[in-house]
């Protein structure tokens, strides 16, 4: 057996060695994509606020927040301090047999930031697990004779079997997996289609066989906002038919859209809300859901059912103290208001950019959830790409070229979402400044002014060589 690598050995690896090991033992195709984008040529060595610092001395502005995780920024000093104090005091890591004062405080804080009687919390590891738990609760409440779960055609709720079954945006990938039965898709924002499903599955006497509707208040990828009044009508329909309404706030929660949660824009109170990403402050893989008290009591209120849904890892000490700090930081540093104001400013600047570049087809922002849609200008290069996945690669050429140029030439990190490669996704930490927005727009203006056939060919050449 080869010598086991130590932490010191890992730190001493060259960038080429890191890429080779990643590609050999983790994900070859993802390693190739990272190389195409220019992300393997240098290594992050430190991160703080909105900046990532690299081994070549570069300071890169992070407009991704690492897929929306870092809403309060990288390595926030308050979160670091809370975790350091926890470790220094050698407090109990996992509270399984005793009620934790820290979990109790976190759950109380969540009851204060959610409306109505959304005041019973469950903690877990990820957004997918939170959505699994929410779906299970709704199913338990409804009973076995009401098995139907409705979701929308553009949606993403996770990659477990159950959450894949209600993730419309994963429909192409879902052909590889056996999905759960009784999952019905309706168009996002179409209240009539939802009502039709409720009615079509209602016998002459009794309740509809639909138990659950799971939806994102704002579909994060593509920044799809439903029509005015949609969520209010959804709430009314679910009340009329006795259907549990789950709102997925995994991406949009904790200030991303300029409100604490995206559903706050509508003024409704869901039955269950799921969350993750920012919840762990970038220091913990942490998620959960909050449910209305009457729903929780119906599902798990008895002693026999108290542990019917549980998980081993539901709140390590460092996770809990990180989450407590996240919620307080959001309030005390006015990051939700900053998200709203800076997002409005970013939208104005991007619309001005759109007026000067025909490549930009559309821009959208709600708070600091933003995207830019490009026209694919390099389809003619498709014939140069061998293999069955050529069209998949071509759809990434324009956006991939922009991402790599922003990173390599302007020290700005951006990304494209997993289901729509014509989009440039902008989800920076909520601490991003207007000056940094100006720097992004100036860089984009320069990048969009180059010959895209040439820049895309550079991207394509890297693909061929990776």
Question: Mind giving me the DSSP string for 377-407?
Answer: --GGGGGGS-STTHHHHHTTHHHHHHHHHHH
Average pLDDT over residues 216-239: 97
pTM for the model stands at 0.93
For domain 77-332, the question of CATH label 2.60.40.10 is answered with no
Distance set, CA 400 to CA 143, 299, 354, 377, 422 (Å): 47, 47, 19, 12, 9
Which comes out higher in pLDDT, residue 208 or 33? 208
Give burial (CB, 10 Å; 0-12/13-18/19+) of 193. Answer: middle
- Are β-strands 148-152 and 183-186 bridged in parallel, bridged antiparallel, or unpaired? parallel
Q: Kindly report the length of the chain.
A: 466
Mean pLDDT of all residues in 120-133: 96
Compute CA 239 distance to the chain's CA centroid, rounded to the nearest angstrom. Answer: 28
C-alpha to C-alpha distances, 312 to 95, 358, 431, nearest whole angstrom: 11, 52, 34
Identify which of 406, 138, 108 has the alpha carbon closest to the alpha carbon of residue 247: 138
Taking only the tens place, the pLDDT of each residue in 190-202 is 999 999 999 999 9
What does the pLDDT read at residue 379? 52
Residue 7 phi/psi, 5° resolution?
-60, -40
In the block, tokens 């309706």 appear at 186
> Domain 7-72+335-465, what architecture?
Alpha-Beta Complex (3.90)
pLDDT at 170: 85
Q: How far apart are CA 74 and CA 66, in angstroms?
A: 9
Q: So what's the pLDDT on residue 378?
A: 55
* H-run or E-run covering 246: strand 244-248
pLDDT tens digit sequence for 402-448: 999 999 999 999 999 988 888 999 999 999 999 999 999 999 999 99
Which of 102, 78, 122, 97 has the alpha carbon at shortest distance from 330?
78
From-to residues of CATH 3.90.1150.10 in the chain: 7-72+335-465
Region of poorest pLDDT, from 63-67, 207-211, 227-231, 373-377: 373-377
Q: What is the pLDDT of residues 278-315, one digit of tens each?
A: 999 999 899 999 999 999 999 999 989 888 898 888 87
Per-position DSSP letters for 314-337, written without gaps between them: S--HHHHHHHHHHHHHHHHTTHHH
Q: Edge-to-edge, what's the strand order for the sheet holding 183-186?
A: 118-124, 287-292, 272-275, 244-248, 210-215, 148-152, 183-186
């Amino acid at each position: 057996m080869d010598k086991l690598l130590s932490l010191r050995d890992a730190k001493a690896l060259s960038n080429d060695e890191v890429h080779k090991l990643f590609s050999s033992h983790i994900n070859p195709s993802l390693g190739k994509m990272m190389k195409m984008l220019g992300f393997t040529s240098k290594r992050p060595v430190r991160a703080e606020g909105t900046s990532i610092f690299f081994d070549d001395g570069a300071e890169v502005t992070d407009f991704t927040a690492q897929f929306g995780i870092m809403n309060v920024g990288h390595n926030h000093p308050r979160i670091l301090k809370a975790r350091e104090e926890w470790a220094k005091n050698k407090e109990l890591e996992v509270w399984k047999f005793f009620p934790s004062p820290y979990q109790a405080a976190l759950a109380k804080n969540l009851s204060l930031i959610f409306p109505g009687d959304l005041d019973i919390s469950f903690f877990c590891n990820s957004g997918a697990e939170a959505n699994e738990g929410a779906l299970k609760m709704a199913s338990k409440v409804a009973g076995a004779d009401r098995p139907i779960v409705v979701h929308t055609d553009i949606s993403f709720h996770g990659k477990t079997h159950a959450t894949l079954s209600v993730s419309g945006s994963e429909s192409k990938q879902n052909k590889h997996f056996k999905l759960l039965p009784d999952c019905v898709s309706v168009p996002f924002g179409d209240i009539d289609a939802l009502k039709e499903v409720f009615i079509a599955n209602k016998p002459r006497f009794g309740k509809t066989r639909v138990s659950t509707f799971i939806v994102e208040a704002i579909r994060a990828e593509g920044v799809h906002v439903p029509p005015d009044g949609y969520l209010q009508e959804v709430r009314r329909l679910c009340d009329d038919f006795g259907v549990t309404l789950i709102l997925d706030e995994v991406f949009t929660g904790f200030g991303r859209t300029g409100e604490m949660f995206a559903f706050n824009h509508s003024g409704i109170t869901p039955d269950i809300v799921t969350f993750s990403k920012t919840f762990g402050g970038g220091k913990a893989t942490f998620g959960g859901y909050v449910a209305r008290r009457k729903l929780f009591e119906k599902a798990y209120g008895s002693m026999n059912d108290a542990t019917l849904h549980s998980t081993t890892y539901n709140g390590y000490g460092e996770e809990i103290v990180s989450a407590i700090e996240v919620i307080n930081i959001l309030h005390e540093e006015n990051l939700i208001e900053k998200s709203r104001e800076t997002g409005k400013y970013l939208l104005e600047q991007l619309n001005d950019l759109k007026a000067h570049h025909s490549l930009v087809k559309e821009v959208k922002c709600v708070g600091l959830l933003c995207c830019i849609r490009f026209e694919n200008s390099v389809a003619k290069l498709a014939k140069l790409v061998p293999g069955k996945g050529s069209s998949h690669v071509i759809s990434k050429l324009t956006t991939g070229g922009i991402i790599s140029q922003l990173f390599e030439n302007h020290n700005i990190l951006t990304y494209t979402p997993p289901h729509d490669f014509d989009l440039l996704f902008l989800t920076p930490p909520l601490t991003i400044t207007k000056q940094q927005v100006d720097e992004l727009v100036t860089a984009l203006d320069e990048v969009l002014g180059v010959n895209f056939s040439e820049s895309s060919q550079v991207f394509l050449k890297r693909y061929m060589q990776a």
